[in-house]
Structure 1
């Protein structure tokens, strides 16, 4: 293993970011300068992009005002959309483009009940004219009655039968209208908590028919993804002077992101990391601060990436940070995101010697928060694959953006954890099937795969759109990406591909978006950004065809 010595002591403003030494992975790949078509880390804003379609940055107060105004306009929007008398809209997000177009994301209620799969996005021109609407459910929302035949206790019993978690407990039962698939029905949503087989907490959401108790849908609320366990060398982290003396690992420059030590616990926040002299970690796994610094660094780079690339003010767009918890459980070999706490959690890996606190882990996990705050892609079936791919896409993008010499950007997922025991990555974006389970191309059975495998179609799309098909070497890593129709593709560059995916996610995708709808959303995003029938939009169409999404 290669080691970096501790960072030298620094002077100056004590609340500023501090240099910290971390260990590098034994599996480090020798990397060269990037070749291929991808843009450099600094090149996120493509010169040919239509500036009018770029989202304007909104401060926390501006966003709050925009949401308040959107809620005041919600009744008029419902009438304009021709919604039924029992339907109401609840504003959840507002995106304003430079050309005056406003994209307003709404949840829907029916007779006061939440409508799952009822979310929609209105697209309004500067003039106030409705340009279009993106709906999770195309038809009307209506059920015969909102009186349930079964009591909530029956929903709990049905939900418990679905869960495989240890110490499962059903709670938080609520009556809803289920509209995410087929005809809307009255239902219950029950959250079953417990512990999954590998030690990951479980927050299983189970939707059951309120008349029959039959399961209609379920998804896991804990979204766990794997990244690298290598460390990032000497980095900077944000700290804040503590009122009682010393320093806390709180990044005041990025929404107040905090990093906590669970110390082997599996609940709560544990203890906020504190240090007397503002020198964090020593590059060894035996120093508890080392994992904390890596997690804090990853969170900072992810925050900066979203700000730089998309003018986004924090993961949820509200200027507030998520938080990180390290040293979860005992020898826990994973990391996960939870919407419930809006936080990332990292285990210490095999024998508590390989904390999963590396750069693309943070980018992957925090991007689950981005998805939850925008499209809200259901974490199951094809929408779940798109959810997981979004985290791979932006985790990879964060890695390229950081331009860290100890962790140079690549299109391999989990290449340093060696989970397979033979040095191979967990996932490959250029040819996903190389992992033995992921799909290269869409088929009717893709939605039956685990979301980490159905994500392969979107991961492959993103790689092909960025870099093109065929053999090439990028940053010292060899790739050879095929196409389903044997077409030859030339990539448009990663920077443009990132912009297209983000705009599609934030303004056109909904909770029920599948691969066919993702094609439509990205084509519209490419049109907005680069023009109808532009080379970029044509590339998006050709690339979806190349992964068999037509």
Structure 2
């Protein structure tokens, strides 16, 4: 049985703020990882315990290794690699190269190796050796079980011949480069009998714009093409905020880097708490980045790299924009800036984003909407160039919030679902609250919901509030609603409803205004003019979209409603009506007279009800004809207090004049309340 308790309230302090100042392109050292078919060799030393049905055997679950623990295991394996090679039967010319290690709860260690032969990399020579906690080899999983032996290491075919073959093949696939990026000797062991071969890599772009990293394997004795593949692969990023994601990375030899060749070569660097330069490009010998926590520096790198990729794709696929400058050139990201730096910023001079690690270096500011926010400052700089002060500064910040929100919804990431909250993942305030709220900006304690004459003197992060609020109203409309699990309740400055047109259209209007209507000095009045011009061009000056832009701006006290005035007539009842616990329905009446025709299809019903555990309540509007319109359903899981919402009802079949009733019934025990008042608004 549930308890009867009120919802806790959180007080909001002024937020700290952000400042302004999928496939992976990889030049593979070898393609064996894409081709490997594991061949079991040897047997386990003892039969494992029978696992419980439907449960993971805890003994065989991998333990979480700290960076130092992992490094130590890799050092141990590296020190013993020669002995391991002999133990598993490798020849005298074969050597192991440690790549990765996993440790089970029962002490079993799985060490992943690559292999060389006569100093040449063996493509298809990788293997995994499992050893018990006593160091005994239990089994070996090989990419190939063929004996590694070739007659010699001197090729009969010239390197130029192999390059020519690969370049011709790349051109047939749409490539345009006339020379290879690299040609090297390898041992090809991924298919059939191992042979001496060339691996040639040809980069560039295919004719459909897809990055081209064609890898061609050529038999060095006969010149026959043995294999080809695109060096396009998905790196794995274990991010702190967006879960496990695919990353676009580049591989050269045995080294992977956070270099996005598919998106203008956007690179992600580790400043390692420095405050100048680029630091060090994230680089490692495997393509799995971070561990989802701050214990691994690459976690923040993965978040930033992912955010940059999604932002690039958002602009390209939403607006047809190719990069920040729309010239196909990527910016770059710098992570781990300073020490406990609680901010992130865009810098035009370096054409880069920079992220601090947050308080105590525990909460990097690399969440998806923050990445989108920062890159969008660059878009603004390269379009309208809104001055970063006064009302134009507020519009500059709002533009980044608007497009950062667009990025988050575009990503469709289940670990960071789209919302109208800014920076909700990074918890700068330390109380679980976002930096900013677009539906009602003043909830952060400092931002402004609506325009007023002195707003140009407010910090730009808070004077952005009216534009953020406008965008929310234009997208979703006013009143209470739940979107992706988040409850919003957006008011309007004139207390009149706004009907949204959807986020996609709102984004198109703002982007067109930014890129074709705004200038460096645009203020709120100018933003209204610009967005109306954009809406008119996109959807027509008599369209619902054009009128919605007018109404949304009026909702934040910028200009008049689409009707030419304040618009709307309200009818209200402020007579309290008690709601009995788990009892019969009660009603409150409003009589409407003096109107002609029927009620509108967008009748607004504003409800003010005090009631603990509001899920007990069922609320209906009853029209003059006696027809009921359901406003709120019963919900056993909604334990929050009170109903303060505005509903939109299609009441076009009702006569406008007559007695309208608000009907409320409590359908569960233990909680009581009352109707404080309610209002009907006819647009």
Which structure 2 segments of 5+ residues have no match? 1-22, 34-63, 65-238, 560-683
**CA drift at 1:13:** 7.8
Match of 1:345 in 2: 354
Query: Which one has the largest radius of gyration?
Result: 2
CA distance in 2, matches of 1:438, 1:281: 35
Q: Secondary structure at the match of 2:407?
A: helix
Deviations 1:174-212 (A, max 9, x none): xxxxxxxxxxxxxxxxxxxxxxxxxxxxxxxxxxxxxxx
**What is the 5 A alignment of 1:148-227?**
none
Which of 512, 523, 542 is equivalent to 1:514?
523
**CA drift at 1:406:** 0.3
**CA drift at 1:334:** 1.0
Distance 1:13-1:366 versus aligned 2 partners, 3 A rule: closer
Match of 2:243 in 1: 233
Q: Secondary structure at the match of 2:288?
A: coil
Distance 1:13-1:447 versus aligned 2 partners, 3 A rule: closer
**CA drift at 1:413:** 1.2
Are 2:405 and 1:396 aligned?
A: yes
Cα RMSD over matched residues?
Answer: 1.9
CA distance in 1, matches of 2:489, 2:245: 33
Q: Are the aligned partners of 1:14 and 1:278 in contact in 2 as well (CA < 8 Å)? A: no
Q: Are the aligned partners of 1:15 and 1:238 in contact in 2 as well (CA < 8 Å)? A: no
User: More relative contact order in 1 or in 2 (CA 8 Å, sep 6+)?
Assistant: 1
Q: Are the aligned partners of 1:260 and 1:272 in contact in 2 as well (CA < 8 Å)? A: yes
**What is the 5 A alignment of 1:422-461?**
422-461=431-470
Q: Secondary structure at the match of 1:405?
A: coil
Which structure 1 segments of 5+ residues have no match? 1-10, 23-228
Match of 2:339 in 1: 330
CA distance in 2, matches of 1:424, 1:256: 35
Match of 1:478 in 2: 487
* Stretch deviating more after TM superposition (250-259 or 416-425): 416-425
**CA drift at 1:259:** 0.5
The alignment of Structure 1 onto Structure 2 pairs a total of residues equal to 329
Q: Secondary structure at the match of 1:344?
A: strand
Q: Are the aligned partners of 2:241 and 2:425 in contact in 1 as well (CA < 8 Å)? A: no
Deviations 1:384-407 (A, max 9, x none): 000000000000110000000000
**What is the 5 A alignment of 1:73-472?**
231-242=241-252, 245-472=254-481
Distance 1:13-1:309 versus aligned 2 partners, 3 A rule: closer
Deviations 1:324-360 (A, max 9, x none): 0011111111111101111000111111121111111
Distance 1:549-1:272 versus aligned 2 partners, 3 A rule: same
CA distance in 2, matches of 1:415, 1:481: 18
Match of 1:156 in 2: none
CA distance in 2, matches of 1:515, 1:313: 28
**CA drift at 1:234:** 0.6
Q: Are the aligned partners of 1:385 and 1:454 in contact in 2 as well (CA < 8 Å)? A: yes
**CA drift at 1:14:** 4.4
**What is the 5 A alignment of 1:34-49?**
none
Q: Secondary structure at the match of 2:364?
A: coil
Distance 1:13-1:503 versus aligned 2 partners, 3 A rule: closer
Structure 1 stretches of 4+ moved >4 Å? 11-16
Distance 1:13-1:527 versus aligned 2 partners, 3 A rule: closer
